[in-house]
Structure 1
Amino acid sequence: MELNEIDVPVKNVPVLTPEMSFTSYVESIRRYPVLEPQEEYDLAMRFKMQGDEAAAHRMVNSHLRLVVKIASQYRRYGLPMPDLVSEGNLGLLRAVQKFEPEKGFRLATYAMWWIKASINEYVLSQWSLVKMGSDAVQKRLFYNLRKVKAQLGLYEDSDMAPADVARIAEELNVGRDHVVNMNRRLMARDSSLNAPVSGEIETERMELLIDDNPNQEDTYAAFEERTLGRQLISEGLAALNDREREIIQARRLVDDPMTLEDLGKRYGVSRERVRQIENRAFQKMQSAIKAAALRLRAPIAQGLDLLPAPV
């Protein structure tokens, strides 16, 4: 994302430069108070209706700590914190530009996705040992493999048994070869995390990793994120007829999905016919979710990510 793509003026936005210590930057942005809901709404409307630059600056500056918080979660990828924060700030600027307060959401909830999206793209483009471009399978593995390994009780920096590879491939809906290759790339990259951050300070990168335990703010943000996701799913389901809706729910929205054969028996049709209905219904849902996301100015993936691949 380039600065010239963003209409929000940036001249009064603090910048984290390589020469500036991270602590100094954090201290500099703490002076900006968190906005009250009504105050945020009024500022957003002033910027939207009147192009008030001062209002935009106040909204941006009051959310710079959110950017730092999100950017800190990407430290383990070995990229400079100033770069991660700068990319996150660009996502925040884009969020302020597109924010529509009358939709009823707080800016922090809306901006979170833009900040993450901006940093995600930067990480993917910069990670030297993982040249993945926009491949959806590789992105899914890149961001989820460690988490799934942890859920299975596997060591992060170890090879996996064939049975574990198969379980992860099924969990993430990817090929087994993709799982093996990504695991080896991540293991190779992790070795560099033990290198000192600089020649002057013998601090290893692993020592800078943030605590992943959720705090109260994370828990509430996750709740708001799920709420919007469910709203988008509801919009998608509303576009279906009764049979399509029942098939989608039975196949993709329950913990124990029904098989095509069982659904075929329920509706008196063939297994292939059920698959056709499911695919058609999913396409209709995609269109409805995209339309709803545009209306709510939310990332489309927020709804689509809640629809797992068919079993």
Structure 2
Amino acid sequence: MTVLSGAPANQLAVANPWSMVPSLGNLDAYISAANRLPLLTQEEEQTYARRLRDHNDLEAAGALILSHLRLVISISRQYLGYGLPHGDLIQEGNVGLMKAVKRFDPDQGVRLVSYAMHWIKAEIHEYILKNWRMVKVATTKAQRKLFFNLRSMKQGFKADSADGDTHRDTLSSDEVSQVASRLNVKPEEVLEMETRMSGGDVLLDPSPSDDGDEGFGPIAYLADASQEPTAQLESRQRDRLSTDGISTALATLDDRSRRIVEERWLKVNDDGSGGMTLHELAEVYKVSAERIRQIEVAAMKKMKKALADFA
């Protein structure tokens, strides 16, 4: 065994450090071998880190990585509940560990174990979010935080359940409020994330039936007709008429007719109801409700002609 220059004789830091770890074909053997690798003292860690930083010494990098493989294994066990292979979680965590070793600054006064935990968890989180579901359940930073915390908090609620119902899958309203308050998010976001996590992936394409006939899948009724070219042209025309066209048509009316049309058809109150009634407008203009109706009909005819010319 070739020992790194300047390292203790009993240090398992070899010229090819990965030869000390068995192949990934046997996960138990890998974990057992990684747990037997000795830890570095703070002085040894500082020495190897400076050699890597100052001289790009890959043997020193290998020594730092080997001594922290057990940390990756320990962290990866926290994510076994997501149904992903333990070996893959360890592999992604090792990627994070190597990134941490590459960026580690020994002069900051922090041990590598503390610095590397963030990078290891970050890589495992990214792997879970990409592979837990075909469709991403969390994309923003806030959603990712909610995704990982909600799962663990739900387990805590089940354990503390007063009625002993450990099989309950949904959160109560009080539990939703607790999660939202603790994670500083809206209760609606908690409910949405819980729905995303509880749902499963659905195969869009139809799968053949046992008798060989073509199956039926959601793709058959999920076709987006709005993307058809003719439908898009019609949609753009409607949007143009509802904005510029309405404005142009209103400009052809006198002030009284324009206000009547706006109050009757274009105003919406806070409670969702429409604008003023015929009788209310009659009170404003000191005329009968029938007269307001006649003005409205004449104004609508004039606007219809203006819209036809605009189109």
Distance apart, 1:150 and its partner CA:
4.8
What residue in structure 2 maps to residue 116 of structure 1? 121
State the AA in 1 paired with 2:189. H
State the AA in 2 paired with 1:166. S
User: Equivalent residues in 2 for 1:1-311 (5 A)?
Assistant: 12-13=17-18, 20-128=25-133, 131-152=136-157, 153-154=160-161, 155=166, 157-187=168-198
**Aligned equivalents of 1:124 and 1:16: distance in 2?**
29
State the AA in 2 paired with 1:28. A
CA deviation profile, 1:276-307 (whole Å, cap 9, x unmatched)? xxxxxxxxxxxxxxxxxxxxxxxxxxxxxxxx
- Find the residue that maps to 2:18 and give its secondary structure: coil
State the AA in 1 paired with 2:92. E
Distance apart, 1:82 and its partner CA:
1.5
**Aligned equivalents of 2:53 and 2:92: distance in 1?**
23
Distance apart, 1:181 and its partner CA:
2.9
Give the conservation status (yes or no) of the 8 Å contact 1:149–1:156.
Answer: no
Distance apart, 1:136 and its partner CA:
2.5
CA deviation profile, 1:225-248 (whole Å, cap 9, x unmatched)? xxxxxxxxxxxxxxxxxxxxxxxx
Give the conservation status (yes or no) of the 8 Å contact 1:125–1:131.
Answer: yes
**Aligned equivalents of 1:23 and 1:55: distance in 2?**
26
Distance 1:161 1:129, change over 3 A: farther
Give the conservation status (yes or no) of the 8 Å contact 1:157–1:187.
Answer: no
Distance 1:11 1:45, change over 3 A: same
Scaled by the length of structure 1, the TM-score of the pair is 0.52
State the AA in 2 paired with 1:180. L
State the AA in 2 paired with 1:169. A
Deviates more, 1:175-184 or 1:31-40: 175-184
**Aligned equivalents of 2:69 and 2:98: distance in 1?**
10
Distance apart, 1:16 and its partner CA:
7.9
CA deviation profile, 1:192-238 (whole Å, cap 9, x unmatched)? xxxxxxxxxxxxxxxxxxxxxxxxxxxxxxxxxxxxxxxxxxxxxxx
Give the conservation status (yes or no) of the 8 Å contact 1:44–1:55.
Answer: yes
- Find the residue that maps to 1:132 and give its secondary structure: coil
**Aligned equivalents of 1:141 and 1:130: distance in 2?**
17
Q: Which runs of 5+ in 2 are unaligned?
A: 1-14, 201-311
State the AA in 2 paired with 1:120. H
State the AA in 2 paired with 1:72. R
- Find the residue that maps to 1:74 and give its secondary structure: helix
**Aligned equivalents of 2:51 and 2:133: distance in 1?**
43
Distance apart, 1:167 and its partner CA:
3.0
Distance 1:187 1:36, change over 3 A: same
**Aligned equivalents of 1:110 and 1:84: distance in 2?**
19
- Find the residue that maps to 2:193 and give its secondary structure: helix
Give the conservation status (yes or no) of the 8 Å contact 2:99–2:119.
Answer: yes
Scaled by the length of structure 2, the TM-score of the pair is 0.52
Deviates more, 1:138-147 or 1:89-98: 138-147
Distance apart, 1:187 and its partner CA:
4.2
What residue in structure 2 maps to residue 307 of structure 1? none
Distance apart, 1:127 and its partner CA:
1.2
Give the conservation status (yes or no) of the 8 Å contact 2:37–2:66.
Answer: yes
**Aligned equivalents of 2:143 and 2:151: distance in 1?**
13
Distance apart, 1:54 and its partner CA:
1.0
**Aligned equivalents of 1:156 and 1:174: distance in 2?**
26
Distance 1:104 1:57, change over 3 A: same
Q: Percent identity?
A: 38
Distance apart, 1:149 and its partner CA:
3.6
The root-mean-square deviation of aligned C-alpha atoms, in Å, is: 2.6
Distance 1:173 1:156, change over 3 A: farther
- Find the residue that maps to 1:33 and give its secondary structure: coil
- Find the residue that maps to 1:13 and give its secondary structure: helix
Give the conservation status (yes or no) of the 8 Å contact 1:129–1:185.
Answer: no
